[in-house]
């Protein structure tokens, strides 16, 4: 099956009555995502696109105990509470669309999640899509088609571009994961790579990182243990130190987090390095033996 989200996994939407959340709830439902409830404090009794709204996650799960995934669209100052509420209610996968969550808030939420065995994707993630099965977040469905290549990237735009390139090469995606662009993320590359390595519907993985942070370097040693090939791309090679590139987390501070240091670590551990995004499909095909 796909990783994290699938057609049969019941999902809730926290902050569902907000403009963006309600719009994308419609798109997620149209795609086939099994959304069973929404949560906005003080809005109980309303509905969005036919989905009942509850005041709390606990209230929602009392009516829909099968729900196991939540997407969080709450404003940054409320995001920590929304995440903690979902964790305490028993949700096991939390996809945080909210961007620019205060660093200490996210550090605390991540600590609690890990102690409870909960996976947080984000903050500032465009979401996750298992093409033809389910979409949680705001990824544009037109950019994805079913296939057997897993993708994980920090950037939403890079996620779309990689998927479109794979599609044009007749490859397609098993699942595409937007890891998130904030400085502090709930889940790192290694955890997603591990899921893909165990997934029977994934043959190879494309991993796209960017300058800033150390998530790519931390994941590099795991790549050497994987049974499936990993094609890696790092964006931001020309960015000067101290210059933020798009995301709050994409900024080089000190001697770590440069494109060169990431590429070096990945290559030493067996990743196949793409110098440009356009090279990725050919490298994937070569890694798979040219049979596709």
pLDDT in tens, 204-223: 999 998 877 788 999 999 99
pLDDT of 219 = 94
Task: Please tell me the distance from the alpha carbon of residue 157 to that of residue 139, in angstroms, as a whole number.
Answer: 9
Q: In terms of Cα–Cα distance, which of 176, 94, 170 is closest to 135?
A: 176
At residue 147, does pLDDT exceed 80? yes
Task: Please tell me the distance from the alpha carbon of residue 84 to that of residue 263, in angstroms, as a whole number.
Answer: 35
Share of the chain above pLDDT 90, in %: 82
For CATH 3.40.50.261, list the domain ranges present in the chain. 140-287
Return the CATH number of 11-121, one of 3.40.50.1010, 3.10.20.90, 3.40.50.720, 3.30.70.1150. 3.40.50.720
Q: In terms of Cα–Cα distance, which of 6, 2, 12 is closest to 39?
A: 12
Task: Please tell me the distance from the alpha carbon of residue 97 to that of residue 180, in angstroms, as a whole number.
Answer: 8
Structure tokens, 14? 């926290």
Higher pLDDT, 71 or 251: 71
What superfamily does domain 140-287 belong to in CATH?
A: Succinyl-CoA synthetase domains (3.40.50.261)
pLDDT of 242 = 53
Task: Please tell me the distance from the alpha carbon of residue 246 to that of residue 254, in angstroms, as a whole number.
Answer: 19
The catalytic site residues sit at: 247
For CATH 3.40.50.720, list the domain ranges present in the chain. 11-121
pLDDT of 260 = 84
In this prediction, residues 266-287 reach a mean pLDDT of: 95
Find the range with the poorest average confidence among 17-31, 35-49, 235-249: 235-249
In this prediction, residues 212-236 reach a mean pLDDT of: 91
Alpha carbon 269 to its chain centroid, in Å, reads 23
């Amino acid at each position: 099956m796909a990783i994290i989200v699938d057609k049969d996994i019941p999902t809730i939407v926290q902050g569902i009555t907000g403009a963006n959340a309600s719009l994308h709830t419609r798109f997620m439902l149209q795609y086939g995502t099994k959304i069973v409830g929404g949560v906005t404090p003080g809005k109980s009794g309303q509905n969005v696109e036919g989905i009942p709204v509850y005041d709390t996650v606990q209230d929602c799960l009392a009516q829909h105990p099968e729900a196991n995934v939540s997407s969080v669209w709450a404003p940054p100052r409320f995001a920590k509470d929304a995440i903690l509420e979902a964790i305490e209610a028993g949700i096991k996968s939390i996809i945080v669309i909210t961007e620019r969550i205060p660093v200490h808030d996210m550090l605390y939420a991540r600590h609690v999640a890990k102690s409870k065995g909960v996976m947080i994707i984000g903050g500032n993630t465009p979401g996750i899509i298992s093409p033809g099965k389910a979409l949680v977040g705001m990824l544009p469905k037109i950019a994805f088609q079913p296939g057997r290549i897993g993708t994980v990237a920090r950037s939403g735009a890079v996620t779309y571009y990689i998927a479109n390139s794979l599609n044009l090469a007749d490859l397609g995606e098993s699942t595409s994961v937007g890891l998130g662009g904030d400085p502090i993320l709930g889940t790192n590359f290694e955890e997603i790579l591990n899921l893909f390595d165990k997934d029977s519907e994934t043959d190879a993985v494309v991993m796209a990182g960017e300058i800033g942070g150390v998530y790519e370097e931390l994941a590099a040693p795991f790549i050497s243990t994987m049974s499936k090939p990993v094609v890696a791309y790092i964006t931001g090679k020309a960015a000067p130190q101290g210059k933020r590139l798009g995301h709050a987390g994409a900024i080089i501070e000190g001697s770590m987090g440069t494109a060169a240091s990431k590429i070096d670590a990945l290559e030493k551990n067996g990743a196949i390095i793409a110098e440009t995004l356009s090279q990725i499909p050919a490298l994937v095909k070569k890694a798979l033996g040219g049979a596709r």
